[in-house]
Amino acid sequence: MPPTASTAACLRVALPVPLPRLFDYLPPSGETPAATDVGRRVRVPFGQRELVGVVVGSGPAEVGDGLRQALAFLDPQPLLHGELLDSLRWLGRYTHAPLGEVFATALPSVLRAGEPLPETHAWAWQLTEAGRTGLAGLRSGTRPQRLASLLGDGPVDEDRLALELDEWREAARSLLKRGFAERVAVPASAVAPAPQPGPVPNPEQEEAIATLRAASGFSPVLLEGVTGSGKTEVYLHAIADCLARGRQALVLVPEIGLTPQTLARFRARLGVPVHALHSGLADGERARVWAAAWRGEARVIVGTRSAVFTPLPQAGLIVVDEEHDGSYKQQDGIRYHARDFALVRGKALDVPVLLGSATPSLETLHNACAGRYGYLRLRRRAGDARPPSVRILDVRKRPLQAGLAPETLQMVEAALKDGGQVLVFKNRRGYAPVLLCHDCGWSAHCPRCSTEVQSTPLTVHAGGGRLVCHHCGHRQPRPLACPDCASLALQPQGVGTERLEELLAERFAGWPVLRIDRGTTARREGLQKLLAQLGDRPGILVGTQILAKGHDLPNLTRVVVVGVDEGLFSSDFRGGEKLAQLLVQVAGRAGRARKPGEVWWQTHHPDHPLLHALINGGYESFAAAELVQREAASFPPYAHLAMLRAEASQVEAASAFLRAARHALEDAACAGGKAPEVELHGPITAPMPRRAGHYRMQLLVSSPRRGALHACLDAALPGLYALPEARRTRWSLDVDPVDLY
Ligand code: ADP
Ligand code: ZN
Ligand code: ZN
C-alpha cells in the first residue's frame, strides 16, 4: 500500500518493555525506512524516557497523535541479522515473550545500553604502491629505511614493530608523510603457540571423531561417557576439524565447569586464541568477545549459559558439555534453556550439535533412543583409570556424629593413612539447617518465607553465630536465649558442610580439611587456590555440588555421600533424575587416579529402588525405569509443560490473576470446537507459598502435543497483559519449566 496523506513510512521497533507488541516510529530525520534497516539498533523516545530498540520491519502507519520520531540509528548496518535474528524471533515465539526483551537478553549490556559495537582489531602498518617503488631511494641504515624493509613482506602489527625497532612510531610518521606507508586495521592477534598434540584416541573416541567428521549439516549427537572417559578429547578433535574447515566453534559449559584449567587445555591444544564468556567478565570485555565473534574473528568461543547468544557468521560446530546441567536454564526474565536454544541454532546454522554428558537428561536420552539424535558412547575410562566401586552403607540405628557413621570415620582414617584424599559430599551449605530450642521446641524461622506447613527454617551459619535464609537471603544474629521460653538450650539440628568440616577437622587434626561451597569460593579463582593449596597431599575435602564436577583430583580415592536420603523423597518430578545425576557425577570424582576408587552412600533406605538401579545397572538402567514412570504420569518428555506463576503482596491478587488467566486459557483451548488437548492444573499455592514477603501461586498448563500447548498459549497470552488483575501482581510464564517451584 503506497503511503497516503494520512500514513507515512515507519519503522517497526522491538523495545525492551514488558508489552506484547511492536512500536511504530517515524525514521530519524533525514532517513527513509528501508528493508535493510532490519536488525539496526535505534534510539527512540518512550514516555518520558529514551530507549534502545531494534528495528524489525518497516511499513506504512497512520500518522496520529501517538506517532513519534526515532532519534537516531545506532548502527551503520544491522547488528542482528541472518540466523541469529531468525533464531531470536523463534525464541520470542517459543517463550511467548516480548521480542524486545528477547533481544535485550541476547545482547551484551554495553550494546543493550546503545554503545557502538566495540573495536576488536589491532593496528598494523603496510607499504603503499609508492612505498614499494620508492623503497630503493631511501637512505640505507636510517630508521625509515629499516622500517620500510621490515614492511617489505606485508603488514606488520604495532606490537611486533615495538619489539623489532626502537622509535618505530617516528619512522612510521616519516614514511606516512611521504605517502610510502599506511596504517591499517587487522584482525586482533591471531597468533598463538603451535598446537600441542594430545593422547592418541582410543577406538571408541576414534569412532566418535569419525562420525562427527562425516556429519554434514545439522546433526544432533549425544556423546555419553562417564567423567574421565575422554569426552573433552573428542570435543577437541571435533573443534580442530571445524577450525581446519575455516569455521567457528561455540562450546557451552556449565557455570562451574568453566575453569582456568579448561581454558588452558583448550588454548594449548587448539593453537588459536580461545575466547571465554562468563559471568565474571567486565561488561566491556564481554561486548568485545561478542563483537569479535560477530566479525568472525573469534574462532573458538567457550562460555556459560548466555554465550548461546554469540553471533556465529561462520559457524561450524556447537558443543554443549554436561548438557543435563541445571545452570543452562535461565530462571528469570526470558526463561530460555541454553541447550535447547543451541539445538535450534544448530538447525538454523546447519551444523552439528554435540551434547556431552555422563548422565544425559531424560529428554535428551529419549531423543537419542528414538533415533532423533545420533548416540555415541564412551564406555571405558580413558587412559588406565578404573571405575570406582560403590557401596551402600545402611546407617539405621547407627550412632552418627555430624551425620557420619563410625564405619565411615574409620574408612576416612584408613584412606588418609594410605596417603589418599577423601571427598565428603553434602548438598547443604552452612552449619545446620535448623536452630531448635531443646526445652520448648521453638525453632528459628524466616519472617519473610514459608512453606505449605510452616515458615521456612533459617540455616545456622558461621559456626552457629548467624542465621541465614537460603531462599531470600534474610540474615540475623543467632539469639542468645529462646525467644519463647528464655532457655539457653538452643541447639543446631541436622548437618551442613560447616558442621562436617568442624567434626572432621577435630577428629583428623593432623590432616588438612578443606571446605568447598559457595561460602568459601565466592570468587571464580577461590576454588583453584584452595585446591592448589592441598595439592596431592592426603587430606579431606568437604563440599557441596561445586565439587561434583570440573576439577581433576588425581589423588582422590574415597567419596562419601552423606545426604542421599534428602533427595530420595523429593516432591519434584525431576527429583529422582537430579539425585541420580548427582550420585553418578560425585562418584566420577573418585578413581581418576591409578589407585582404585571407592564410593560410599550413607542412607536410611538401603533398599530404595533408585539406589539399586544405579548400582546394578548404572545410570542407563535408572533412566529406563524413570522414563517408564514419566510416561505413566504424563510428565516430560511425554508431555509438554508451561508454568504460569504469579506473586503479590496480597494472596488474593495473585489468585485472582491466575483464575482470570485460567478462563482465558480454557477459552483458547476449546476454540474451534475441538476436544481440548490442553490440561490446566490450578491455580494452586506454590510449593513455597511465601518468599521474601510475597505470596506465590501457580497454574500449570500441560499437553501431550507441543503444538497444541503453544497454540493455546499464543491465543491466550496477549490478553493476559490486558487483564485488570495483571496490574496488581507480578506474573511470568515459564515454558518447559525445569522444576515446578
Ligand atoms: P571427560 O571430558 O570425559 O571427563 P577427558 O577428555 O577430560 O574426559 O579425559 C580424562 C583424562 O584422560 C584427561 O587427563 C585426558 O588427557 C586423558 N585421556 C583422554 N583420552 C585419552 C586417551 N585416548 N589416551 C590417554 N589418555 C586420555
Ligand atoms: Zn524455648
Ligand atoms: Zn526468607
C-alpha cell at position 209: 571423531
Residue 47's pLDDT is: 92
What integer is the mean pLDDT of 362-389? 86
Report d(CA 13, CA 41) in Å as an integer: 9
Residue 422's pLDDT is: 93
Any ligand 1 atom below 6 A from CB of 321: no
Residue 453's pLDDT is: 66
DSSP annotation string for 140-187: TTSHHHHHHHHGGGS-EEHHHHHHH-TTHHHHHHHHHHTTSEEEEEE-
Q: Residue 384 pairs with which residues in a beta bridge?
A: none
Residue 525's pLDDT is: 62
Report d(CA 267, CA 198) in Å as an integer: 12
Residue 703's pLDDT is: 94
Whether 383 has a pLDDT exceeding 70, the answer reads no
Q: In terms of pLDDT, which residue wins out, 235 or 169?
A: 235
What integer is the mean pLDDT of 289-298? 94
pLDDT tens per residue, range 321-333: 999 999 999 999 9
For the chain, what percent of residues have pLDDT higher than 90? 60
Cβ-count burial of 360 within 10 angstroms (0-12 exposed, 13-18 middle, 19+ buried)? Answer: buried
From ligand 2's centre to the CA of 490, what distance in Å?
8
Helices (H), 350-447: 362-369, 406-417
Whether 379 has a pLDDT exceeding 70, the answer reads yes
DSSP annotation string for 250-261: EEE--GGG--HH
**Residue 683, preceding peptide bond in cis (omega within 30° of 0):** yes
Binding-site residue positions for Zn(2+): 437, 440, 446, 449, 469, 472, 482, 485
Closest ligand (CA of 485): 2
Whether 189 has a pLDDT exceeding 90, the answer reads no
Lowest mean pLDDT among 189-193, 452-456, 513-517: 189-193
Cβ-count burial of 287 within 10 angstroms (0-12 exposed, 13-18 middle, 19+ buried)? Answer: buried
Mutate to test the pocket of ligand 1, among 233, 235, 386, 585 (most ligand atoms within 8 A of CB): 233
Whether 551 has a pLDDT exceeding 80, the answer reads no
What integer is the mean pLDDT of 692-700? 93
Task: Tell me if 360 sits within 8 A of 338, measured CB to CB.
Answer: no
DSSP character at residue 432: B
Residue 141's pLDDT is: 85
Average pLDDT, the chain: 89
Binding-site residue positions: 437, 440, 446, 449, 469, 472, 482, 485
Whether 190 has a pLDDT exceeding 60, the answer reads no
Residue 567's pLDDT is: 78
What pTM was estimated for this model as a whole?
Answer: 0.88
Closest ligand (CA of 451): 3
Secondary structure in 3-state letters for 395-422 = CCCCCCECCECHHHHHHHHHHHHCCCEE
Residue 503's pLDDT is: 93
Any ligand 1 atom below 6 A from CB of 233: yes
Lowest mean pLDDT among 219-223, 387-391, 653-657: 387-391
Whether 459 has a pLDDT exceeding 70, the answer reads yes
DSSP annotation string for 224-252: EE-TTSSHHHHHHHHHHHHHHTT-EEEEE
Cβ-count burial of 451 within 10 angstroms (0-12 exposed, 13-18 middle, 19+ buried)? Answer: middle
Any ligand 1 atom below 6 A from CB of 232: yes
Any ligand 1 atom below 6 A from CB of 262: no
Any ligand 1 atom below 6 A from CB of 335: no
pLDDT tens per residue, range 567-598: 787 778 898 999 999 898 888 777 666 677 89
Whether 207 has a pLDDT exceeding 90, the answer reads yes
C-alpha cell at position 83: 540466523
What integer is the mean pLDDT of 301-314? 97
Whether 3 has a pLDDT exceeding 60, the answer reads no
Spatial CA neighbour of 330 closest among 279, 285, 291: 279
Whether 662 has a pLDDT exceeding 70, the answer reads yes
Written as one letter, the residue type at 469 is: C
Task: Tell me if 661 sits within 8 A of 723, measured CB to CB.
Answer: yes
Closest ligand (CA of 357): 1
Which residues fall within 8 angstroms of residue 456, CB to CB, at 6 or more apart?
A: 445, 446, 449, 450, 469, 471, 688
Ligand 1: residue whose CA is nearest its atom 9: 230
Query: pLDDT class for 673, splitting at 50, 70, 90?
Result: low
For the chain, what percent of residues have pLDDT higher than 70? 94
Spatial CA neighbour of 326 closest among 574, 80, 158: 574
Residue 484's pLDDT is: 92
What integer is the mean pLDDT of 551-568? 83
Any ligand 1 atom below 6 A from CB of 151: no
Residue 706's pLDDT is: 94
Task: Tell me if 546 sits within 8 A of 517, measured CB to CB.
Answer: yes
Residue 593's pLDDT is: 62
